[in-house]
Amino acid sequence: MAVAATLRDYLENRGIKFDIVEHPHASSAMRAAESAHVPGDQVAKPVLLGDDHSYLLAVIPATHRLELDRLNQMLARSLEVLPEDEIEATFSDCERGAIPAVGEPYGVDVVLDPALMQQADVYFESGDHEHLIHMAGDEFRDLMENVPRAHVSHHL
């Protein structure tokens, strides 16, 4: 697959410059970083959350762990990590466990940990387990320009 069609169309329509990094099959963002030989703190790991109101994609560095209680407290919500079947329904053109760190093309709000905003380069899942989207940090900052930022994770 390389890049999910929804994601590719979104990036191309916005004029975002990116390339694709192929790597051996990896089952997590951190393993993808290792197999692609890129720093884990430059890999954006999405965590899809939901409550009775809506879904929210928390995007954090692959080297970090989400602080769900902190996020819920900040937003006055009761978000929980969603089961795989709900994730698959929302990101229908992506393989299970390989969703991109971009929510807008899928109709999902995003909160971004600012730790990703200082990176020279950023990588994230393309929709499958063998390819990462790579873009310069400036492109990523443009892509996430209107996304709220909050310290919602800590380094492992």
DSSP character string of 42-82? GBEEEEEEE-SS-EEEEEEETTEEE-HHHHHHHHT---EEP
21 contacts 126 by C-beta, under 8 angstroms? no
Tell me, yes or no, whether 153 lies in a domain. no
Tell me, yes or no, whether 155 lies in a domain. no
- Does the pLDDT value for residue 18 go beyond 90? yes
- Write down how long the chain is: 156
Tell me, yes or no, whether 71 lies in a domain. yes
Tell me, yes or no, whether 89 lies in a domain. yes
Tell me, yes or no, whether 26 lies in a domain. yes
Q: What is the domain range of residue 21?
A: 5-148
pLDDT (tens digit, 9 = 90+) per residue, 61-74? Answer: 999 999 999 999 99
Q: What is the CATH number of the domain that holds 27?
A: 3.90.960.10
Tell me, yes or no, whether 105 lies in a domain. yes
The domain tally of the chain equals 1
Residue 84 pLDDT: 87
Tell me, yes or no, whether 154 lies in a domain. no
Q: Which residue shows structure tokens 């990462």? A: 132
pLDDT (tens digit, 9 = 90+) per residue, 128-150? Answer: 999 999 999 999 999 999 999 99
Q: What is the mean pLDDT of the segment spanning 17-21?
A: 97
Tell me, yes or no, whether 68 lies in a domain. yes
59 contacts 44 by C-beta, under 8 angstroms? yes
Q: What is the mean pLDDT of the segment spanning 9-15?
A: 96
**3-class DSSP state for residue 128?**
coil
